[in-house]
Structure 1
């Protein structure tokens, strides 16, 4: 295991990385164009995540620069206690050791997620998807250049060029120490990692997020939240898939017609339950199982529901445990919804698109966990640590 790099060295590498990303901006975008041209898949969200443009490079630079400015998450005292026998006991945060990030399509993960894991004192193993290999390898070269410039070993960031069979073999019998695995991608990737991994996995789960328009909703807010959450970035795990509308909503028909019209402007395919499918441009859902699906596409399901209690039950049954929002002016209904819906993030009168480390004040994220251990929701720098007990004595025995 590599000896923990001093915080000054970790920060210097991150700042050097920001410089190198700026210097190599044009080449990164050019190499990425080759990956985009070679991508033959039909998945528009995969393509969207694969693309690197100037705005993406700006985000990468901002991410590593911000990380360099944050406090060291390692060695933070969480608890201390003076034992009756005179021993001094401390509990402090500690790095995991080696973190393996397995991801699809997103070259920015090679910077942002790796940066968070590196700042947290971990060695990084990266296993990207074949669709983004050239973009990823270029960025890993920059990591190695930054590490060398600061006199640190290039082993801190390692790229694994494995095919699926080799990846499975590595998960089942790692040829080097792995302390934590973070899969970033679709449900199939996450299921594959969970099935084969022999060490802890942080499940960065699916979205399938819900908005509930309660009967006392401000309808203008409801419209703008739904349109934003559905159409701003369809490839995001915090995008909206399902809308539940209170059957006792005043002006319900007018609202639904307005909503359909706005969604149609964005070319969203609309499906509805029995009550909503009677409107023009809405197809009847093929089966109840569609309520469980995450679309990552211009597609939405709208249904009618009789109460906040029923909305809570519906969301808890079908959602991915990621994000849900209630639109209402009734504070008591909002409170009940937020306390009882079992998702990592709950919103009142706001878009689910804010479930994101940068937006929720963490500066960035390694992943958005839908697990409840050891951290739920966006996993930032301060969460990518374990802990360790430091006990100082003078010969005490028990």
Structure 2
């Protein structure tokens, strides 16, 4: 394990990295252009995640500036106890050591996740997807420049340019100590990492988020929240896939018709359960398994429920543990929904698209965890630490 760098050094590297990104914009976009030209796939979501334009670079710089401004997450005292025999016992946050991040197609992760891991005192191993190789190597060379400019060893940020077999071999028999692995990507990647890893894994990714329109919903809000959740960015894990409508909503069929009309303007493929399909003439789902699916596409499934309890049970059965939103003017109903729906983020009257470290004020995230250990939802700087006990005595024995 590398020695913990003083916070001034860690901050200086982040600051330098932000300057270098600004300075090397053209180079980064040029490398990214090569990646885009080499990408032969037809996955719309993948293409969107792969692109680096000025807005994405602005986002990378902003995330580093937010991280720079945050206090050091390492060495924070969490517990203090003085034993009756005089021993002083303190628990403090400490760095994990080495964190491996495995991700697909998103060059901004190379900056954002790298920055969070580094600021929290960890060495980072970055394993990006082959489709973004040139963009990633360009960004990693800037990390190395920022480290060198501060007289710090470049091995604090390493890029693992491995294919699938090499990655598997590394997971099973790491050539260096790895303390935590964070896979960010599809279900196949996550399953692959969980199967082969020999250290703790934080699962990040799967969405399949729900919006529930309660009988006391403001329908204008419901409409705009659903449209935003589904169409503003289909390639992200906080996008919306499922809608449930309470049949106790006065004239729910009328609202259903309006929703269908609006979604069709965005060329969204609509499927409904039997009751919704009958009311709106959209295609009916073939079976209930589709309720488990995350689409990452212009596609949505809409169904009805007869009670709040039924909505809660359905969401808990099918969702990915990520985000769920209730649209209602009744705060007590919202509170009950939010306490009983088992997702990392629960909303009242807002779009699921906010489940994001930057939006939550964390300065970006290393991952959005749908696991329950040791942190749920966006994992920011202050969550990327473990802890350690410090005991001070003067000769006590038990």
Q: TM-score, normalised by structure 2?
A: 0.99
Give 1:362's aligned residue: 362
CA-based RMSD: 0.8
Give 2:283's aligned residue: 283
SS in 1 for 2:215: coil
Q: 1:278 offset after TM fit, Å? A: 2.3
Give 1:241's aligned residue: 241
CA displacement 1:211-252 (0-9 Å, x = unmatched): 000111110010010000111111110000000011121121
CA distance in 2, matches of 1:151, 1:205: 36
Matches within 5 A, 1:7-22: 7-22=7-22
Moved more, 293-302 or 328-337: 328-337
Give 1:204's aligned residue: 204
1:108 and 2:108 matched: yes
Q: TM-score, normalised by structure 1?
A: 0.99
CA distance in 2, matches of 1:196, 1:282: 43
Q: 1:285 offset after TM fit, Å? A: 0.6
CA displacement 1:69-92 (0-9 Å, x = unmatched): 110000000011111111111100
SS in 2 for 1:225: helix
Give 2:187's aligned residue: 187
Give 2:92's aligned residue: 92
Give 2:25's aligned residue: 25
SS in 1 for 2:48: helix
Matches within 5 A, 1:330-341: 330-341=330-341
SS in 2 for 1:211: strand
Give 1:392's aligned residue: 392
Q: 1:365 offset after TM fit, Å? A: 0.7
Give 2:132's aligned residue: 132
CA distance in 1, matches of 2:298, 2:205: 20
CA distance in 2, matches of 1:330, 1:12: 49
Paired residue total: 398
CA distance in 2, matches of 1:10, 1:297: 39
CA distance in 1, matches of 2:110, 2:103: 9
1:255 and 2:263 matched: no
SS in 2 for 1:9: helix
CA distance in 2, matches of 1:359, 1:70: 15
SS in 1 for 2:211: strand
CA distance in 1, matches of 2:278, 2:310: 22
CA displacement 1:4-28 (0-9 Å, x = unmatched): 1110000000000000000100110
1:66 and 2:66 matched: yes
SS in 1 for 2:233: coil
Q: Check conservation: 2:18, 2:65, Cα contact below 8 A.
A: yes
Q: Check conservation: 1:260, 1:281, Cα contact below 8 A.
A: no
Q: Check conservation: 2:100, 2:180, Cα contact below 8 A.
A: yes
Q: Check conservation: 1:83, 1:89, Cα contact below 8 A.
A: yes
Q: Check conservation: 1:369, 1:375, Cα contact below 8 A.
A: yes
Q: 1:281 offset after TM fit, Å? A: 5.8
Q: 1:280 offset after TM fit, Å? A: 5.0
CA distance in 1, matches of 2:309, 2:205: 25
CA displacement 1:150-209 (0-9 Å, x = unmatched): 000000000001100010011011010000000011111111111111100001130000
Give 1:380's aligned residue: 380
Where do 4+ consecutive residues of structure 1 move more than 2 Å? 278-281
Q: 1:142 offset after TM fit, Å? A: 0.1
CA displacement 1:292-339 (0-9 Å, x = unmatched): 000000000000111000000000000000000001112221111101
1:6 and 2:9 matched: no
Q: Check conservation: 2:205, 2:367, Cα contact below 8 A.
A: no
